[in-house]
Structure 1
């Protein structure tokens, strides 16, 4: 909900800044007559029907600006998602990116796979690892994926000590090998 609200605020803020930029450009380039610009400026000083909405809009823009500054500062200090474990000696933090790279390393050891991508989620029962791959089409896909699943599960549990709940393999395509022609020498 917070991200949707922030995106909506950013959209409205951008529209208002866009409109204000066009007005400033028009006044700066003398596209608006000086008498008209002075009349509008006078209405901000003397007409309460113009001044009060302008004050409200300015306060809203100021609050939105403060919100965006807060978000930019807060996200600058945010840490990458990680898996935290406590041992007798102290805490261990393993980044999700590390687990993804380890799963790619283990999956890459399976013969006949290419173009690997990995995604890791933490679940109550352990890690959920999703691997997307392209295979060579020369090996049995069920045997290949089962081998990959067991390799990834065993390797991740051995290296990180974190239980793996599931390893899902998505075979996106097979590699289309180009036919090879042997040249004849006469």
Structure 2
């Protein structure tokens, strides 16, 4: 295992009112005529689809692509996970948070880029996040995972190194009276036996 695992932060830009209006207009322009053309078997209305996507490309161009993954995935801001702390980096400066100083920790390691989500298409890898409270202030950071290798490495790192230590400190949230009597390995076997999702239910702390 490496000492620190580093991932780019994901920051969604806040649209202006005019950008919100244009994006809603484009969505309506694409799907309303297209749906009408499908239901009425009038192919002319289906032309809204290619014209609408051209409009979306134009919209992205004039907004400097700030709503696309090209800009959402940060190039100079990162999150680093280690055994003892979480670090948030921007350029050459960072803020560190010791795991033992955090409350209401929630970690969702959801997907890497291109991972299938059943029949709903693929993930973009930007859906992962961690949230926690530090000195009564809640922080939430989304981060990007590019490859299956990075995804599995981070997952194993949490499961084998970080989470057992937090479990020993009895900071796990929403466990029953019986479960806290189990050690970490026994807890995972217990959740497997009773069909409790061990990759979501065991990562909530207070």
Taking CA–CA contacts closer than 8 Å with sequence separation of 6 or more, which of the two structures ends up with the larger relative contact order?
2
Instruction: Normalising by structure 2, report the TM-score.
Output: 0.29
Instruction: Normalising by structure 1, report the TM-score.
Output: 0.32
Q: Which has the larger radius of gyration?
A: 1
More helix by share: 1
